[in-house]
Structure 1
Amino acid sequence: MSFRTKASLLAVSALVSAFGFESAASANAYYLQSQSARGTGRAFSGEGADTGAASLWWNPAAIAGIRDGSAAIAATVIRPKGNVIDNGTVIGRPTFNPNIAPTYRPVGGNSVSRDPINNGIVPSGSIAYPLTDRIAIGVAVTSPFSFTTNYEANSWARYSADKTRLRTIDIQPSIGIAVTDWLRVGGALNVEYTDADLTNALPNVLATLPDGQQSLSGDGWDLGWTAGVQFHNDFATVGVSYKSSIEHNLKGNLVVSGLVGPLAASNRTVDGATARFSTPGQVIVAGRVRATNQLTLNAQVVAYNWSKFDAIRLGAPLNVALPENYRDSWSLAGGFDYDITPKATLRAGIQRAKTPTQDGLRDARVPDSNRWTYAAGASYQLTPHIALDAGANYIDFANTTIDRVTAAYVGTAAVTPIITNGYLKNAHAIEASLGGRLSF
C-alpha cells in the first residue's frame, strides 16, 4: 500500500470522528427547540398553532392576517449536567503481523467525565409586517443546531470525542396569506450557515507513547424550506407545518499531528477537506383550544425523519460514505396558558421526546437519550405594545449506554479497534428563557 493511500485512509478515520454530531442537547439529538421564551414556558406544546412573529420558526402561516407589525426576541440559558462513565472500554493496539491478533487492554485515562457538555446561550429573534389585511411578510433568525462539548485530554472517551463546537445560524424569510377567515397558509426559505470545530485524540502504536491529535474546522451555507397551514374558528386553532431536511456541505481543514514511529508519516494537513450530511425534516402538528375565557389548552406532536442522517459522505480525495444509522423519532407535548388578569398569563407544560440514536451505535461525541421536559412560565403585558415572556425547563435524561465500536487507521496494517463500553448517568439540564414581544 502506497504512502498516499495510507495517508488518505488515516484522514478518513480522522474525519469519521470529527463529523460525528451526536448531542444530548435540550430537544431531540442535536436539534435545539429553544427558539421562543413563550414556547419554553409551555414545553413547546402549541407553537405551530399560535400566531404572531414569536411562532414564525414553527409555522410561517402564524403571521398570515396580522393587523399590526410584530417582533419577538429571546435568549435561553442552558445548563446541562451529567456523568459520562467508562464501564470497561478496551483498545486493541496493532501487532503489524496478520497472524497475530491484537491484544486488548483497558483504554486508560480518567474513567469519569463530569459535565462534558458546556453551558450555552441560544438567541432567537423574529419580525413580521402586514402588507395588506391578508398578506404579511417576516423573517426569523434562530440557532437550531448548536452545542459545545469539552472532555478532558485524558478522558476515557478521548478517541471518539475530545472538543466539539457546532454553531448554526438559520435565517428564515417568510410569507403568510389569510386565504379565508378560517384558512391561513405560509411558506419560507431557510438559509442556514454552519460552522464546526472538532478535535479527537489518535492512539499511537504503544500505550506508553502520548496520543496524537486530529482537528477539523469547516463551514458552509445551505438551503431548506418550510411550509404550513392553520385552521381557525372561534375557539380552536390547528396548525400543520413541514420543515425540510437540509443537506449541509462543509469545507475546511483537517490536521493530523503527534503520531510517531510507524505512524509518523501520516501526520498531515488536508486543505479543502469536505463533508456532506443531512439534518432531519420535521412534521409539526399543533392545536390550541380556548376551554374558557381564561384557559387555553395546547398540544403539539413533532415527527423527525432523523433517518436522513444515515451517513456522512466525504468528498474528494477521500470519496467514502460513513454510516450513522439514526432512526426516525418524535416528541409529544401538552400544556396550557391561563390568564390570571387581563395583563398577566401563567403557563406550564410537559414534553416526552424519544432519541434517534440507537443502542450499539451511540458514542460520546455528546450522548443522547430519551427525556422528559417539565416547563413553567409567564407573560406580562407591560404596555399595550410590549409584552415580556419568561420560561423555565427541567429536562430529565434517561440513563443510557455509550457503546459504539470505533477504529483508528481503518484499512491499514495499523488498524486499532476501540470497543466502547460506557454509559451516561444522572444527566439533566436546566433552561431559563427571557424574551419580549413588540407590536407596532
Structure 2
Amino acid sequence: MSKRLLKTGLAVAITATSGHGFASGFALNEQSISGMGTSFAGRSSSAEDASTVFGNPAGMARLKREEVYVGAAVIHAQSDISRASANAGPATLAGSNDGDMVPSTGVPMGYYVKPLDDKVAFGLGVYVPFGLMTDYERTFQGRYHADKSYVRVITVQPTLSYRFNEHLSVGFGPTFNHIEGELSSSLLNPGNSDGKVRVKGDDTAVGFNLGVLYEFTPGTRAGITYHSRVKYELEGDTRVSGNGALAAIAGKYDANLGLTTPESVDMSITHQLTDALTLHAGSTWTRWSRFKEIRVENDSAALPVIVEEQNWHDTWAHAVGLSYRLNPQWTLRTGIAVDQSPTNNVDRSARVPSGDRTIFSVGAGWSPNPDMTIDVAYSYLQEESVDVNQQSSTRGDYRARYNNSAHGLGASLSYRF
C-alpha cells in the first residue's frame, strides 16, 4: 500500500511544469522590455537594441555602437478557482481553494553588444528562458494533485553575427543553461496525517540560437530565429515523510529526472509605414510535443521508476504591434498576442491549469540623449476558463474550474558608448 501511495504521489509532485507567465507551457517571453511593449511582435526582425542577442543574434549587425542593456520584468498572476470538489471514494476531502498559488516573480535580463568591424559583432546575453513558481496554500483541497513547484533556467549566450552585405546578416550563439527545481506534493495517508514528497535537482546543458535577418529596404526587414532544444538530466534527491503506511519508506533517496526544453522558431517582419509609425508582426512555433511523459528514476529498490503521461502538443503564438516615434526622445508602443496552451482537456491537471491566452501590451521608450534609452512596458494576460478533472484511486478525485490572468511590468536601461 505504501509503495502505491508513493508512486502516484511522487508522479504528481514532478509534473509541475507550468506557471502563469506570458508564454505557453513553462516558457517565459520576458527577455526584452522594448519587445514587451509590442507583445513581442517583430521579435526576430526589430533589432532595435542589444536584446536582439536573444530575439535574433543576426540583428547585432544593425547596431553601430557598443551597447549595454539591463532590465527586469515583474509578473503578478491571479487565479479564480470555482466549482471545486474533491473526494476519496465516498468520503469528501475538505480544503480551501484560495487561488493565490503564484507569487509575484521577477525575471531579469542583461546583454552586451560590441561591433568588431563593419561586418562582425560580438554579443553576450544572460536571461531566463524558462521558469515557474507555484505554491498552493497548505490546506488546498487538491493538494494531493498539486502543491509547491519551483523551476528556473538561467542561460548565458556568447554570440557572433556577420553582415554579408547591406541586406543579409546571420548570427549564432551557443547557450549554456543551468536548470534547478524543487517540487513537492502531499500524500493521501488514510487513517493518519498527510505525508509529503519533495523532489530537488539541477543540471547544466548546452544548446544554441541561430538567426537570419534580411533587410529588403531601410524600412522593411524580416527575420527568423531558431532556439534549439536542450536536454537535461536533473540529479538530486527524493525525500518522503509520513507515518502509518508511509513510515516504511520515509527517508531520502538519490534521484534523477530527464527533461527536455523544446525548440522554437520565431518568424517576424518589421515595416516602417511612415516616418513615425512602424508595424511589427510575427509568429512563434514551439515543439511542446516533445513533452510526452515525466520519468523519474530513484536509486533505491524501495522506490519504483515513475512515469507520468503528459501528451502535450505543439503550439503557435501570433502577435501584431505598432510603435510610434513622437520625436527623437519618445517612442510609444502597443501590441496584442494570442498564444495556444500545450495542454489538452483530458490530461489537464491542477499543476497545469492553463488554457489559450490573449495578451495586451503598451510601452514607451525615452532617450534623453543619443547615448541612453529607458524602456518601460505593461502587459495584461487573460486565459480562457478551463476545467480540471483529475481522478485517482490513491489520491482521490479533484474537479475545479480555473480562470487565470496576469499582469506584467518591466523596465530596462540601454547605454551606448
Report if TM-score (shorter chain) is over 0.5.
yes
Partner of 2:279: 297
Deviation track 1:89-134 (CA, whole Å, cap 9, x = no partner) reads 322xxxxxxxxxxx34323211x22221111111111111112211
Q: Does 1:428 align with 2:405?
A: yes
CA 1:10 to 1:82, structure 2 compared with 1: closer, same or farther past 3 Å?
closer
Shift of 1:191: 1.0
Q: Does 1:330 align with 2:316?
A: yes
Distance 2:62 2:270 in 1: 18
CA 1:164 to 1:77, structure 2 compared with 1: closer, same or farther past 3 Å?
same
User: Which residues of 2 match residues 362-401 of structure 1 at below 5 A?
Assistant: 362-401=348-387
Q: Is the 8 A contact 1:373 1:396 kept in 2?
A: yes
User: Which residues of 2 match residues 89-238 of structure 1 at below 5 A?
Assistant: 89-91=86-88, 103-110=89-96, 112-206=97-191, 209-232=192-215, 233-238=217-222
Q: Does 1:41 align with 2:32?
A: no
Over the matched positions of the two proteins, sequence identity in percent amounts to 27
Distance 2:167 2:343 in 1: 40
2:81 pairs with one of 70, 84, 89:
84
**Partner of 1:365: helix, strand, or coil?**
coil
Partner of 1:275: 257
Distance 2:10 2:119 in 1: 50
Distance 2:102 2:114 in 1: 38
Q: Does 1:265 align with 2:248?
A: yes
Distance 2:318 2:392 in 1: 33
Partner of 1:94: none
Any gaps of 5 or more consecutive residues in structure 2?
none
Distance 1:83 1:405 in 2: 21
Shift of 1:15: 3.5
Distance 2:98 2:243 in 1: 25
Measured on the aligned residues, the alpha-carbon RMSD in Å equals 1.8
Aligned residues: 410
Shift of 1:229: 0.3
Distance 1:23 1:164 in 2: 9
Q: Does 1:251 align with 2:235?
A: yes
Deviation track 1:149-198 (CA, whole Å, cap 9, x = no partner) reads 11111111211211222222111111111112101111111111111111
Shift of 1:281: 1.1
CA 1:77 to 1:90, structure 2 compared with 1: closer, same or farther past 3 Å?
same
Q: Does 1:16 align with 2:1?
A: no
TM-score by length of structure 1 reads 0.89
Farther off after superposition, 379-388 or 13-22: 13-22
**Partner of 1:63: helix, strand, or coil?**
helix
Any gaps of 5 or more consecutive residues in structure 1?
92-102, 408-415
2:396 pairs with one of 415, 418, 426:
418
Deviation track 1:384-408 (CA, whole Å, cap 9, x = no partner) reads 110110100011111111224456x
Distance 1:359 1:66 in 2: 45
Shift of 1:11: 5.2
Deviation track 1:352-379 (CA, whole Å, cap 9, x = no partner) reads 1110011021111242111111110100
**Partner of 1:315: helix, strand, or coil?**
strand
